[in-house]
Chain A
Amino acid sequence: MANPNTKFLVVDDFSTMRRIVRNLLKELGYTNVDEAEDGAIALGKLKGGGFEFVVSDWNMPNMDGLTLLQHIRADPELAKLPVLMVTAEAKKENIIAAAQAGANGYVVKPFTAATLDEKLSKIFEKLEKAGA
């Protein structure tokens, strides 16, 4: 497990799903979690600073998760922020688009706690290696 104080932003237009992800993160030991209900609100919060990890849905009003990811990668302040896509979009072209836009991982709903844990660990591991 990475630093339990790692600050997460969970982005999803369904409050039910935000709560599920928040609770799963809590089960995994991460309690420093904020929420945003679409990409635009998320981007505003991220620009405010302090976030270390983004877990984002794809399909959302105002700004979708892919556009959010593209904005993050295009912003020099945010470009290195790890982004895990958690989405109901299971089509190959979605996954490829997310990979090309620079997503660090991709989880298809309905996912399990174990899957989320595994993806997070994998991302943290890679980041550590890259940082070392």
Chain B
Amino acid sequence: MSMLQEEVSTTLYFDRTFDCEAAKISPGEYYYTDKDMVIVTVLGSCVSACIRDTVTGIGGMNHFMLPDSAAADKDSPVSESMRYGTYAMEVLINQLLRNGARRENLEAKIFGGGNVLKSFTTINVGDRNAIFVRKFLKEERIRVTSEDLLDIYPRKVYYFPKTGRVLVKKLKNMHNDTLVKREEAYASKLKTSDVGGEIDLF
């Protein structure tokens, strides 16, 4: 059985605009740090939760979408999409907690869920992702201090976990279809992989 796991981004570079270390994350990845750096991503219909401990300044960002599970199953609390979304959120939050963050100090800023994938005609994937992330954080009682969700434009997000500062640029003119292609590839990967891990050692 193939296994689709959230991966820590390994794309690091020095950002000249902000004069600091930067990590770029792609769909299905996350990154966390306690250093003074910037985490960057470009979102179409995917969502990112930027979560940090307001006391210690450790924070991180994920980037995911819900798999398009069978229609009948879609909004069931136990559907594949709900499980995958919960998992994607948990992986980031667990890393923060493991590295000293405290749950009661966490604040979240959430972005994305734009209706940018024209080929997804069934229902708006961006809406589902946005609704999921809002609902998850509410149920887990993690404060949302800022959000920029939905609409029809892709977004470039810069997140500075140390301070919690965020810059969001709406990309109103796309010069190519790289973003859409990348999200479609991610969506089809989610569809063809069994979104379930299994270990059969014992």
A-side residues, CB < 8 A to B, are 13-17, 19-20, 23-24, 27, 59, 61, 88, 90, 95, 99, 103-115
- Complex CA gap A1/B106 in Å reads 41
Q: Which of A13, A15, A115 contacts B139 (CB 8 A)?
A: A15
Beyond contacts A17-B86, A112-B194: 19 other A-B pairs, Cβ-Cβ < 8 A, are A14-B90, A14-B93, A16-B86, A16-B139, A20-B77, A27-B78, A61-B97, A88-B94, A90-B197, A95-B201, A103-B202, A106-B202, A107-B197, A107-B198, A110-B84, A111-B198, A112-B80, A114-B196, A115-B198
Specify which of B4, B139, B197 lies most central, judged by the most chain A CB atoms within 10 Å of its CB.
B197
Closest 5 CB pairs of A and B: A108-B197, A112-B196, A110-B87, A23-B78, A59-B94
**A111 in contact with B97 (CB, 8 Å):** no
**A109 in contact with B87 (CB, 8 Å):** yes
Give residues of chain B (75-99) contacting chain A, Cβ–Cβ below 8 Å.
Answer: 76-78, 80, 82-84, 86-87, 89-91, 93-94, 97-98
Min CB–CB distance B85 → chain A (angstroms): 9
Which B residues lie within 8 Å of A13 (CB)? 103
Which B residues lie within 8 Å of A110 (CB)? 4, 80, 83-84, 86-87, 195-197
**A59 in contact with B83 (CB, 8 Å):** no
Which A residues lie within 8 Å of B194 (CB)? 112
**B94 in contact with A16 (CB, 8 Å):** no
**Residue B146 interfacial (CB < 8 Å):** no
B144-175 CB mask vs A (1 if < 8 Å, else 0) is 00000000000000000000000000000000
Q: Which of A24, A88, A103 contacts B87 (CB 8 A)?
A: A88
- Complex CA gap A99/B136 in Å reads 32
Specify which of B3, B84, B89, B202 lies most central, judged by the most chain A CB atoms within 10 Å of its CB.
B202
Give residues of chain B (95-118) contacting chain A, Cβ–Cβ below 8 Å.
Answer: 97-98, 102-103
